[in-house]
Structure 1
């Protein structure tokens, strides 16, 4: 049931049936979901906490709010150089306290998705939360550890609270301390993400319930709007939220508690563009690891050669880091970040290229297991396919009055077909076209004969006082050599 304040006012998201109510604003990219949130916040007095994907987008939107909402207090809580979670938390707490002390009843406070998931928002009881675009609510990983000393380290660093069949909630002890103190240690560097996510208010989940005799464990960090049940209201404006991993995971764990209402935003388009989706290969799928090899670089060279010669006036482009490093200065147009959700910076450009991969990772085994029961197709669609769709929709086809041509280039046929299916809703026609001239349409990836099996990840081994220990096998061989010399 809804909770009450000392004055008897009803607060919180739970309705009369005990369900946590959230509202999802959906519609095609560019339909006006963000504008709907802005119009409400400026037109209906109240305290609003806006959560956006990036700092540049916060700057852009905060300026628009100030220009349109004269007299409405607009504050940006964000980190800068040398900042971080602690700095944003202080800004949030100070802003909330100042607003309460001054008796201000209409204010808008901006923060990033990352800060929304990392900071303590328990004090924002009477605030309306507005989340623009899909947050990266689910992250996964796998950790290999090696000795009793390592197990002791984890036992001292994390408290485990069993939550289900073989799983536990791992909370970082003394999470208020800077997690970078531990994650920044050279020996623990590869645990940085796990430390950071475990330090969040919601912690992380691991598939062990005790550190005794643990050699390897999987972890999952999950944020859900259910964690905001104490606030006045929550609205999420995102075309793909209902298909996101965060939504699927939250529904799996909080299915009996969450009740979402869906509101479609945007009138039908006034004009319909003609879209051509070009792809370079149907013989294999690209990955960051593959593009980092000699054979992978050869494929990217073919992409660069084609774009440079035939599409010199490409509008904007991006890709994985390996791809950007190889394509920069060889391809025209504007180089952007891979994830530009919410941005309107490129909506005048008539073509784009996105050579990108975000395949399921080893740590995603937890999502495919009995805990969440997601398929590999679910993960691929929510990550790679949606990232590509969001990128392509930043161009001129975002304008509902545009009825001209639009060309977009992706790496594989599978990506092109998935993208075409998504674009059919806003186009007069969508055509998928192989780029035969690049010469890699039928190229396949074959493992060389005699290829060695991939090496297993080295276990994390900690000795006394956190010092790195010598591998036991190496120590044994060293002793054998020393004994041989004595003979």
Structure 2
């Protein structure tokens, strides 16, 4: 399988170039965008380019709010695309990352898939199911995950295989398990979509834990990894993502490649753009990282209130800001109309803004750290993708994307590590005069980091871990196939 990765810098025209090529060269394309809100913008751009270039192209957005009456879900609509457009020589279907990750793509032979930005290939959910031991034991099996004490691979009993997600949708007490059940069902039919959890016996979920707040249900975690095997039917695979090889998803995809022969081709496309030189100022408030747990504490909330007051005094009307939903109550001075969701990759909506602030934290919980370990990646990889990259993508939705603007830009983040990450990426742009500034608002946390400092794995270590995972997956899949043959007999 050949995979082309366009790692051009943010704002350099990766998405525009991809849309332009899809219009110019007739074929069947599946274009995958990160956010549902981007579907209509991409659709409009494709149709406008088609008119400009006199191309007869079918542009087909797949949106849960506008499904054909014959379809019950986005997944059904995605899986029906190859048959629906089998006689169309030139079509562009537009879906979200979520739709790609949940769908069976085995019928897309001859199609070309283009994935804009890095998809989150590891689905994770932490749950409490204190009274559900009997339900899980009746519908699911647990098989020890070799090499990882306390972790299991989830399978299906006969009753579990007969249960559908639609059944769960009609059950108020188990509706929250629809995603879990769908993943386990998929894993039964596709070796590349197994589900793992940190339980070895379903009875563990019913063992209440004694805490200072009394007895509480234990929180357990499950995870399901989307792998490159799911894209094997496509004629070509293209990913548009700056520094993709540094992402958590890339490392997970490499580690889980199994026997697939993957050939990565790198490029950095860009439009011929003359950029105005401009100053970019990155401001941070804390020399140390802080977790969500600290920022939700009484002290943490007081720190956030100070930052809110400072930002409200500094930022003008042409600005955007964001924070975790759990922190929003501490931000009462900033204008609510300027608040945007943290995940803004692919948007040009705020290109007129010269100021942006994002106070955001997404550290891994102990459960998540354990799950990452079973996939051969570290907490540092998690933070880079789920925190630092979210911060960077939000801040670069501003006038930094406008080559004609020479206005100074000011960007605000919480801590030094985030500031360094943003500064390194933006500082690499030849037209940016960068400065980094610490504003002391007295928000330093006295928290000591838990455990050893996570380290980023070297390429050799990544490959070694990937080989170990491939060897294990090969043996595991062989055992599964042998067991299936034995059951059929």
Question: Which TM-score band (shorter chain)?
Answer: 0.7 to 0.9
1:361 to 360, 365, 388: 365
Secondary structure at 2:234's aligned position in 1?
A: coil
1:339 maps to 2:343: yes
Dislocated runs of 4+, deviation >6 Å: 81-85, 144-147
1:62 maps to 2:34: no
| Counterpart mapping for 1:393-432 below 5 A | 393-426=396-429, 427-432=431-436
Distance of 1:186 and 1:94 partners within structure 2: 31
Structure 2 residue ranges without an equivalent (≥5): 206-217, 450-489
1:94, distance to aligned residue in structure 2 (A): 4.6
Deviations 1:265-287 (A, max 9, x none): 115763343111111222x5333
Partner residue, 1:80: 65
For structure 1, which segment, 158-167 or 379-388, has the greater mean C-alpha deviation from structure 2 after superposition? 158-167
Deviations 1:413-437 (A, max 9, x none): 222122212221125332111223x
2:116 to 117, 124, 132: 132
Q: Is the 8 A contact 2:6 2:267 kept in 1?
A: yes
Distance 1:175 1:35, change over 3 A: farther
1:34, distance to aligned residue in structure 2 (A): 0.8
1:349, distance to aligned residue in structure 2 (A): 0.9
Q: Is the 8 A contact 2:10 2:242 kept in 1?
A: yes
Distance of 1:210 and 1:421 partners within structure 2: 43
Secondary structure at 1:135's aligned position in 2?
A: coil
**Total equivalences in the alignment:** 419
1:105 maps to 2:108: no
Deviations 1:303-340 (A, max 9, x none): 12112223243511111002334325634762111100
Q: Is the 8 A contact 2:364 2:383 kept in 1?
A: yes
1:37 maps to 2:18: yes
Secondary structure at 2:119's aligned position in 1?
A: coil
Distance of 1:415 and 1:134 partners within structure 2: 19
Distance 1:388 1:212, change over 3 A: closer
Partner residue, 1:466: none
1:186, distance to aligned residue in structure 2 (A): 4.0
1:377 to 363, 366, 380: 380
Distance of 1:187 and 1:58 partners within structure 2: 31
Distance of 2:352 and 2:122 partners within structure 1: 33
Distance of 1:308 and 1:153 partners within structure 2: 51
When the two structures are superposed, what TM-score results if normalisation uses the length of structure 2?
A: 0.76
Distance of 1:279 and 1:186 partners within structure 2: 44
For structure 1, which segment, 175-184 or 412-421, has the greater mean C-alpha deviation from structure 2 after superposition? 175-184
Distance of 1:332 and 1:218 partners within structure 2: 34
Distance of 2:227 and 2:345 partners within structure 1: 20
Q: Is the 8 A contact 1:308 1:332 kept in 2?
A: no
Distance 1:125 1:169, change over 3 A: farther
Partner residue, 2:214: none
Distance 1:41 1:328, change over 3 A: farther
1:238, distance to aligned residue in structure 2 (A): 1.1
1:153 maps to 2:140: no
1:291, distance to aligned residue in structure 2 (A): 3.2
1:194 maps to 2:175: no
Distance 1:286 1:82, change over 3 A: farther
Distance of 2:418 and 2:286 partners within structure 1: 10
Structure exhibiting the larger radius of gyration computed from Cα positions: 1
Distance of 1:246 and 1:367 partners within structure 2: 14
Distance 1:351 1:180, change over 3 A: farther
Deviations 1:369-425 (A, max 9, x none): 2x3332222221121111111111111112234443110111112221222122211
2:331 to 323, 327, 331: 327
Distance 1:207 1:293, change over 3 A: closer
Partner residue, 1:92: 78
Distance of 2:251 and 2:448 partners within structure 1: 35
1:200, distance to aligned residue in structure 2 (A): 4.8
Distance of 1:98 and 1:192 partners within structure 2: 27
Q: Is the 8 A contact 1:367 1:374 kept in 2?
A: no
Distance of 1:428 and 1:278 partners within structure 2: 15
Q: Is the 8 A contact 1:145 1:214 kept in 2?
A: no
When the two structures are superposed, what TM-score results if normalisation uses the length of structure 1?
A: 0.76
Distance of 1:420 and 1:307 partners within structure 2: 20
Q: Is the 8 A contact 2:144 2:200 kept in 1?
A: no
Distance of 1:42 and 1:81 partners within structure 2: 23
Distance of 2:167 and 2:282 partners within structure 1: 43
